[in-house]
Amino acid sequence: MARIDLKSLAHSYFPDPKTDEDYALRRMEHVWEDGGAYALLGPSGCGKTTLLNIISGLLTPSHGQVLFDGKDVTSLAPEERNIAQVFQFPVIYDTMTVYDNLAFPLRNRGIDEKRVDARVREIAGMLDLNGKLKQKARGLGADEKQTISLGRGLVRDDVSAILFDEPLTVIDPHLKWVLRRKLKEIHNKLRPTMVYVTHDQVEALTFADKVVVMYGGKVVQLGTPQELFENPAHTFVGYFIGSPGMNIMDCKIDDGAAWVDGQRIGLSNRHLEAVSKQTGKLELGIRPEFLTLETGNADKGSDGIEVNITKVEDLGQFKIATTRFGTSEIKVKLGEDEQVVGQSGILRFVPEWTKLYADSQLVA
Amino acid sequence: MNKITNNKAWFLVLPVFFIVAISAIIPLMTVVNYSVQDIFDPQTRFFVGTEWFEQVLGDSRLHDALLRQIFYTLSVLFIEIPLGIAVALTLPRKGWGVSASMVLLALPLLIPWNVVGTIWQIFGRADIGLGGYVINLMGIDYNYAQNPMDAWLTVLVMDVWHWTSLIVLLCYAGLRSIPDAYYQAAKIDGASRWAVFRFIQLPKMQSVLVIGVLLRFMDSFMIYTEPFVLTGGGPGNATTFLSQFLTRMAVGQFDLGPAAAFSLVYFLIILLVCWVFYTVVMNAGKQGEQ
Ligand SMILES: Nc1ncnc2c1ncn2[C@@H]1O[C@H](COP(=O)(O)OP(=O)(O)OP(=O)(O)O)[C@@H](O)[C@H]1O
Ligand SMILES: [Mg+2]
C-alpha cells in the first residue's frame, strides 16, 4: 500500500517524438493517494493502459518519474516494484490447477507454503472458487478464468497497489456486479491503493471514491463522482459522464450574455469576468437535468427560448425531451410526471448550472 | 434434438472410399498377398502361412538393423526437439530479422533428400570437402567411408541439419500465438525465465510439438535416401537402417516374401508407436479437466 506520484510523466511509443500527437501520454503531474479507490475512465486509445503499464513497470516512461511513497521506482522492473495488475482478458497458467494458479505469485516470491495456503484459501473463498481449487485451469470458462486472474491480483497482501485494466469485460453482467461488490469489499477491508480502468461510467461511479478522467493522453479531471457531474472541468467529462451527457453548444459573448444561434442566454457576472480573459473557441454547456422546459402556451418572459420539441422518450423514472432551436439540438431531462404538450415549448437555462468552456477547458 | 437418419449420406463417402482404396488399401493388400505366399510366377504360388513372418522375426541381422534404427531415431529426437525449441526461443519476434531467419531456416527443408545426401557426401570428404578437411586439420582422424562411428555421426548430423528447422518453425508458430499479456502477467507475478518457459511457452507449444515429434519419428524411422547416397549403408553395416535392410532384401536378393512380411511388421511398429505416443500425450493434457 503506497502513495503513487507521477512526476512530469510523459510517454511516447516513438523513439523521437516531435508533435504532441506522437505522445500516448502528455506531460502530467498526478498523485494516487495511499488507500484510494480510483476509477480511471476514458475513451479508447486515450492512454489508460499505457499509464497503468508505466505504473506497474511493464513500460518505462520516456519522460518523468514514478514514485512509490516518495521512492523513485521508474527504472525498476515490475517484480521489484511489488505491484499487482489484472488484465482485460484472462491470463491463466493452463497446465496448473486453480490452486497453483492462485499460489503462483506467492511461491515465486519464496513465501512459505503455510502462508501461501492460508492466502489462497482466503482469496478463493472471497471469489467463490473453493470448490474448484483442485481442477486444471484450462477446462474452465472465460468467467472463471478471469476470476482466477483477479484472484492472482488480490492474493498478495503486501502490494503497493492493485491495477485493474478493464478486468470485467469478458464477464457476464450479473457476475460483473457481484465481483465489483467483492472488490469494493476487499478495498474497504484492506484499503489497498486500487486503480480501476473502465470504459463504463456506471462501473466507475459504483466502484470508486475518486474518478480520474483521461482524454487524449491527458488527465482532464480528478474528482468525486458528484464533482464530475456538477462541475465538469472539460467538455469531454460533461459529455462522457451522465446519461444523456451534457449539452454543449458553440457560443459568442456579447452585450453581457452568451449567444447561441442568435438566441440570448443569460450569464452571471462570474462567467463574464472569467471569460473576458479568454481567447480560445467558446462553448456553453449545461446538463439536461438543469434545464427547464415549459409547454402549453407558456410565457416566454425575458430569459426563455422558443424551441421545437422533436422527440420525447419516456424512460420510466424520467423523460428525455429532444428540443431544437436554430441548428442546436438540446436534450432536457424531465420528471416522470411532467407533461409535454404540443410540438413547441419554452426552454430556460439556469445561470448557476450554465458552464463556459474555452478550448474545451472549463472557464466558469 | 432429433437427428434425422438418412442412410443415403453414406453414398457421399464413396468417392473418398475409392480414392483411399486405390491409393492405400489395394497396394497394401498386394504386400499382404506376398507376405503369406511363396510366389514364383502368377501361376505358381504356394500358401506358406506365417513362415515368412517367423523367418523375418528370427533374423539376427534384422534385429541388429532394428536396434540401430531405434538408437538412431532416439538420437534424432533427443537432439532435434530440444535444439529446435532452443532456437525458436532465441529467434527475433519482430523487425526484419523475422523474415530473414524464416528464409534461412526454410532453406534446408526445400532441398531434396538425395541432394542433401550428395551435399554431405562431398562436404564430409577429407580431400575435397570443406567439413571433412577442417575436421582433419584439427587433428581428428575423420573418414566416414571407413570409420563406422564417423559414418553414423555424419548421418546423424546431416539429419539434424536437414530437419531441425522443421521443429524450429513449428515451435516458432506456437510461440507467436502467445499474447503479450501472458508475458506481462508473468512479470507481474514475478515468474522466473524458467517458469515462463515451463508454464507459458511449453504448454502453448505442446500441440505443435506433438506433431513435430510424430513427423520426425516417422521420417527418421523410415530414413533411406540420405544414408543410401552418403554411405550406401556402410561401412560394414554401420548405417544400414531398416529401410536399407528391407530394400536389400527385396531388391538386392529378391526375397519378396520375407520382404513383404517385414514391411508389414515395419508398418505396424510405426503405427503402434505413433498411436501410443499420441494417446499418452493427449490424455496427459486432458487430465484434471473432468
Ligand atoms: N505498443 C504500442 N506501440 C505503439 N503505439 C501504441 C502501443 N500501445 C498503444 N499505443 C498507442 O498509444 C495510444 C494509447 O493506447 P492505450 O492502449 O494506452 O489506450 P487505452 O486508453 O488503454 O485504450 P483502450 O480503452 O482501447 O484499451 C493509442 O493511440 C495507441 O494506438
Ligand atoms: Mg487499454
pLDDT over 90 for what percent of chain A? 40
Predicted pLDDT of residue A256: 83
Pick the range with the lowest mean pLDDT from A41-45, A273-277, B97-101, B185-189. Answer: A273-277
Instruction: State the smallest CA–CA distance between residue A94 and chain B in angstroms.
Output: 7
Q: Which residue has 503513487 as its cell numbers?
A: A4
For chain A, say whether B179 makes contact (Cβ under 8 Å): yes
Instruction: State the smallest CA–CA distance between residue A203 and chain B in angstroms.
Output: 23
Q: Which residue of B has its CA nearest to A88?
A: B181
Contacts of B190 in chain A (CB under 8 A): 78-79, 105, 108-109
Question: Interior CA angle at B109 toward B108 and B114, to 5°?
Answer: 80
A12, A14, A41, A48: residue to mutate for ligand 1 pocket, most atoms within 8 A of CB:
A48
Q: Which of A165, A154, A167, A195 is nearest to A34 (CA)?
A: A195
The architecture (CATH level 2) of A4-240 comes to 3-Layer(aba) Sandwich (3.40)
Q: Categorize the per-residue pLDDT at B263 as very low, low, confident or very high, splitting at 50, 70 and 90.
A: confident
Q: Could you report the per-residue pLDDT of B57-110, keeping only the tens digit for each?
A: 778 888 888 888 899 999 999 999 999 999 999 998 888 889 999 999 999 999
Q: Domain B51-287 is classified in which CATH homologous superfamily?
A: MetI-like (1.10.3720.10)
How close is the Cα of A165 to the center of ligand 2, in Å?
Answer: 7
Average confidence (pLDDT) over A39-48: 90
Q: Determine if residue A301 is left, alpha or beta; phi over 0 gives left, psi from -120 to 50 gives alpha, anything else beta.
A: left
Average confidence (pLDDT) over B12-18: 88
Which cell numbers hold the place of B15?
A: 468417392
Q: Which fold has domain A247-362?
A: OB fold (Dihydrolipoamide Acetyltransferase, E2P) (2.40.50)
Average confidence (pLDDT) over A94-123: 92
Buried b (16+ CB within 10 A) or exposed e, B252-262: eeebbbbbbbb
For chain B, say whether A136 makes contact (Cβ under 8 Å): yes
For chain A, say whether B199 makes contact (Cβ under 8 Å): yes
Handedness of CA A156, A162, A168, A169 (dihedral sign): negative
Asked if residue A3 lies in contact with residue A193, where contact means CB atoms within 8 angstroms, the answer is yes
Q: Which of A122, A114, A52, A134 is nearest to A87 (CA)?
A: A52
Predicted pLDDT of residue A55: 93
Q: Categorize the per-residue pLDDT at A61 as very low, low, confident or very high, splitting at 50, 70 and 90.
A: very high
Q: Determine if residue A89 is left, alpha or beta; phi over 0 gives left, psi from -120 to 50 gives alpha, anything else beta.
A: beta
Residue B290 pLDDT greater than 50, yes or no: no
Which residues are registered as beta bridge partners of A248? Answer: A285
CA–CA dist B39, B36 (Å, integer): 9
Interface A–B counts its CB contacts (< 8 A) at: 63
Predicted pLDDT of residue B53: 80
DSSP letter assigned to residue B269: H
Predicted pLDDT of residue A49: 93
Q: Could you report the per-residue pLDDT of A252-279, keeping only the tens digit for each?
A: 888 888 888 888 888 888 888 888 888 8
For chain B, say whether A74 makes contact (Cβ under 8 Å): no
Residues 6+ apart with CB under 8 A from B128: B122
Q: B176 versus B148: which is more confidently predicted? A: B176
Residues 6+ apart with CB under 8 A from A203: A39, A168, A176, A180, A196
Residue B215 pLDDT greater than 80, yes or no: yes
Any idea which ligand is nearest the CA of A46? 1
Q: CB A136 to CB B192 under 8 A?
A: no
Q: Which residue has 533427443 as its cell numbers?
A: B78
CA–CA dist A237, A215 (Å, integer): 9
CA–CA dist B158, B184 (Å, integer): 39
CA–CA dist A56, A66 (Å, integer): 10
How close is the Cα of A77 to the center of ligand 1, in Å?
Answer: 21
Which residues are registered as beta bridge partners of A165? Answer: A197
| β-strand pairing of A328-335 with A37-41 | unpaired
Contacts of B179 in chain A (CB under 8 A): 89, 91
Predicted pLDDT of residue A17: 84
Which cell numbers hold the place of A242?
A: 451522465
Q: CB B188 to CB A83 under 8 A?
A: yes
ipTM over 0.90: no
Q: Could you report the per-residue pLDDT of A298-350, keeping only the tens digit for each?
A: 777 778 888 889 989 888 889 999 999 888 899 999 988 888 888 888 999 98
Of the partner residues B200, B203, B290, the one whose CB lies closest to the CB of residue A139: B290
Asked if residue A203 lies in contact with residue A168, where contact means CB atoms within 8 angstroms, the answer is yes
Q: Which residue of B has its CA nearest to A82?
A: B188
Instruction: State the smallest CA–CA distance between residue A65 and chain B in angstroms.
Output: 20
Q: CB A135 to CB B191 under 8 A?
A: no
Helices (H), chain A: 48-56, 78-81, 98-107, 113-126, 142-154, 173-190, 201-207, 225-230, 235-240, 269-275
Q: What is the dihedral of CA B140, B144, B150, B155, to 10 degrees?
A: 130
| pTM recorded for the entire structure | 0.81
Which residue minimizes the CA distance to atom 28 of ligand 1? A45
Q: How many CA atoms lie within 13 A of B81 on its CB side?
A: 20
| β-strand pairing of A263-266 with B37-41 | unpaired
Buried b (16+ CB within 10 A) or exposed e, B204-237: bbbebbbebbbebbebbbbbbbbbbbbbebbbee
Q: How many CB atoms lie within 10 A of CB A139?
A: 14
Asked if residue B187 lies in contact with residue B146, where contact means CB atoms within 8 angstroms, the answer is no
Average confidence (pLDDT) over B258-280: 87
Q: Categorize the per-residue pLDDT at B285 as very low, low, confident or very high, splitting at 50, 70 and 90.
A: low
Q: Angle, nearest 10°, between helix axes B26-35 and B256-286? A: 120
Domain boundaries, chain A: 4-240, 247-362
Q: Could you report the per-residue pLDDT of B138-149, keeping only the tens digit for each?
A: 888 888 778 888
Any idea which ligand is nearest the CA of A17? 1
Q: Which residue of B has its CA nearest to A53?
A: B184
pLDDT over 70 for what percent of chain B? 97
Which residues are registered as beta bridge partners of A163? Answer: A85, A195
Average confidence (pLDDT) over A99-127: 92
Predicted pLDDT of residue B289: 46
User: What distance lies between CA A81 and its chain's CA centroid?
Assistant: 25
Nearest atom in ligand 1 to the alpha carbon of residue A214 is: 21
DSSP letter assigned to residue B146: T
Residue B287 pLDDT greater than 60, yes or no: no
Nearest atom in ligand 1 to the alpha carbon of residue A13 is: 4
Q: Which residues line ligand 1 (CB under 6 A)?
A: A 13, 24, 42, 44-50
Contacts of B187 in chain A (CB under 8 A): 57-58, 77-79
Where does residue A307 rank: exposed (0-12), middle (13-18), buried (19+ CB within 10 A)?
Answer: buried
Predicted pLDDT of residue A331: 92
pLDDT over 70 for what percent of chain A? 100
Residues 6+ apart with CB under 8 A from A194: A36, A37, A38, A161, A162, A163, A164, A183, A187
Cis peptide before B235 (omega within 30 of 0): yes
Domain boundaries, chain B: 51-287
- For chain B, the average pLDDT equals 85
Residue B54 pLDDT greater than 90, yes or no: no
CA–CA dist B71, B86 (Å, integer): 23
User: What distance lies between CA B260 and its chain's CA centroid?
Assistant: 21
Of the partner residues A96, A108, A134, the one whose CB lies closest to the CB of residue B190: A108
Predicted pLDDT of residue B288: 46
Which residue minimizes the CA distance to atom 25 of ligand 1? A44
Average confidence (pLDDT) over B130-141: 84
How close is the Cα of A203 to the center of ligand 1, in Å?
Answer: 21
Asked if residue B179 lies in contact with residue B204, where contact means CB atoms within 8 angstroms, the answer is no
Q: Which residue of B has its CA nearest to A137?
A: B289
Q: Which of B73, B80, B230 is nearest to B150 (CA)?
A: B230
A41, A49, A199: residue to mutate for ligand 1 pocket, most atoms within 8 A of CB:
A49
Pick the range with the lowest mean pLDDT from A58-62, A110-114, B123-127. Answer: B123-127
Q: CB B188 to CB A95 under 8 A?
A: no
Which cell numbers hold the place of A70?
A: 516518495
Q: Taking a contact as any Cβ pair under 8 Å apart, which residues of chain A between 147 and 166 contact chain B? A: 149, 152
Q: CB A91 to CB B289 under 8 A?
A: no
Residue B47 pLDDT greater than 80, yes or no: no
Predicted pLDDT of residue A22: 87
Which cell numbers hold the place of A5?
A: 506520484
Instruction: State the smallest CA–CA distance between residue A15 and chain B in angstroms.
Output: 15
Which residue minimizes the CA distance to atom 1 of ligand 1? A13
Which cell numbers hold the place of A222?
A: 480528478
- For chain A, the average pLDDT equals 89
